[in-house]
């Protein structure tokens, strides 16, 4: 599967942070985020801003070990003023992208995953921001859309993360087995945006394909991505589930990490 360019990931971090800022502007920052019920909208924004700054510190210092949170500079806006939060989010994204662009995609740095590179972190922060912007949009009840290329890559990165979690012994991901079962993701508005996930005795595999499966999830690509990332319920009228809906639920309940 082809990834986006390093510059495109950097562009997405800035664009999605701007969209997140616009979404929370004037919203009730104390509102509970339905897709992350332990967080308020303000907590969500702080999480995104801190993630950006943490990655920025990893990239700037070319860290070879995990960077403790206390070493991350300016990890709060310094004020409860919504304007301070907005400026803090914008500055954090800009500084992290500046560091990522200066480094390029191939510098070796620490990561928690299968790939220790600055390119990994550009991709990870792009999708982190894309998905959490969805959380904010669902909370504030505003519109939300993702272009086809990053939406498709968000699905593929999540598949890679769940596969990594399974290989690392994550208890829930380890249960994603069972030969003879499969899930088909089918975007109805983007040509060739289809995936087949096939379960085996020891795990699962996936590929781009249009094939009959045990269960199919169909709908606009953005909505398929949101269901797959557990941001939209599979029984939403924005998507269609054909076949064994319990298998899709089985996946969604166990496809987690961290």
One-letter-per-residue 3-state SS of 226-250: HHHCCCCCCCCCCCEEEECHHHHHH
Residue 199's nearest CA partner among 140, 250, 148, 253 is 250
CATH code 3.30.1050.10 region(s) in the chain: 148-254
Please tell me the predicted confidence (pLDDT) of residue 258: 60
Task: Render pLDDT for 47-88 as a digit per residue (tens, 0 to 9).
Answer: 999 999 999 999 999 999 999 989 998 889 989 999 999 999
Task: Render pLDDT for 128-165 as a digit per residue (tens, 0 to 9).
Answer: 999 999 999 999 999 999 999 999 999 999 999 999 99
Whole-number Å distance between alpha carbons of 100 and 57: 10
Domain 6-140 coded CATH 1.20.120: yes
Res. 256 pLDDT band, cuts 50 70 90: confident
pLDDT above 90 coverage of the chain, percent: 95
Residue 211's nearest CA partner among 243, 234, 176, 237 is 243
Q: Where are the beta strands (DSSP E) in the chain?
A: 32-33, 36-40, 182-187, 194-199, 204-207, 215-219, 240-243
Asked if residue 213 has pLDDT above 70, the reply is yes
Whole-number Å distance between alpha carbons of 118 and 126: 12
Task: Give the 3-state secondary structure of residue 205.
Answer: strand
Please tell me the predicted confidence (pLDDT) of residue 232: 97
Residues 6+ positions from 80 with CB-CB distance below 8 Å: none
Domain 148-254, CATH: 3.30.1050.10
Task: Render pLDDT for 14-48 as a digit per residue (tens, 0 to 9).
Answer: 999 999 999 999 999 999 999 999 999 999 999 99
Res. 104 pLDDT band, cuts 50 70 90: very high
CATH code 1.20.120 region(s) in the chain: 6-140
């Amino acid at each position: 599967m082809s990834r986006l360019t390093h510059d495109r990931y950097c562009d997405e971090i800035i664009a999605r942070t701007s969209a997140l800022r616009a979404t929370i502007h004037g919203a009730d920052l104390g509102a509970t985020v339905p897709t992350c019920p332990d967080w308020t909208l303000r907590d969500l924004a702080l999480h995104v801003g801190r993630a950006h700054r943490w990655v920025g510190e990893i990239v700037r210092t070319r860290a070879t070990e995990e960077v403790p949170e206390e070493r991350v500079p300016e990890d709060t806006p310094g004020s409860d003023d919504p304007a301070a939060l907005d400026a803090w989010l914008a500055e954090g994204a800009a500084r992290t992208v500046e560091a990522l662009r200066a480094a390029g995609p191939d510098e070796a740095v620490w990561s928690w995953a299968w790939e220790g590179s600055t390119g990994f972190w550009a991709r990870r922060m792009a999708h982190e921001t894309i998905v959490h912007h969805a959380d904010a949009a669902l909370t504030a009840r505003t519109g939300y859309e993702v272009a086809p290329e990053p939406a498709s890559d968000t699905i593929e990165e999540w598949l890679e993360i769940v596969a990594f979690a399974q290989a690392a012994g994550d208890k829930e991901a380890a249960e994603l087995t069972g030969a003879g079962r499969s899930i088909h993701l089918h975007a109805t508005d983007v040509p060739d945006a289809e995936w087949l996930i096939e379960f085996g005795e020891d795990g699962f595999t996936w590929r781009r394909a249009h094939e009959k499966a045990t269960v199919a999830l169909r709908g606009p690509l953005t909505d398929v991505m949101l269901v797959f990332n557990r941001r939209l319920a599979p029984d939403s009228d924005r998507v269609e589930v054909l076949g064994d809906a319990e298998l899709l639920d089985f996946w969604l309940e166990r496809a987690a990490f961290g």
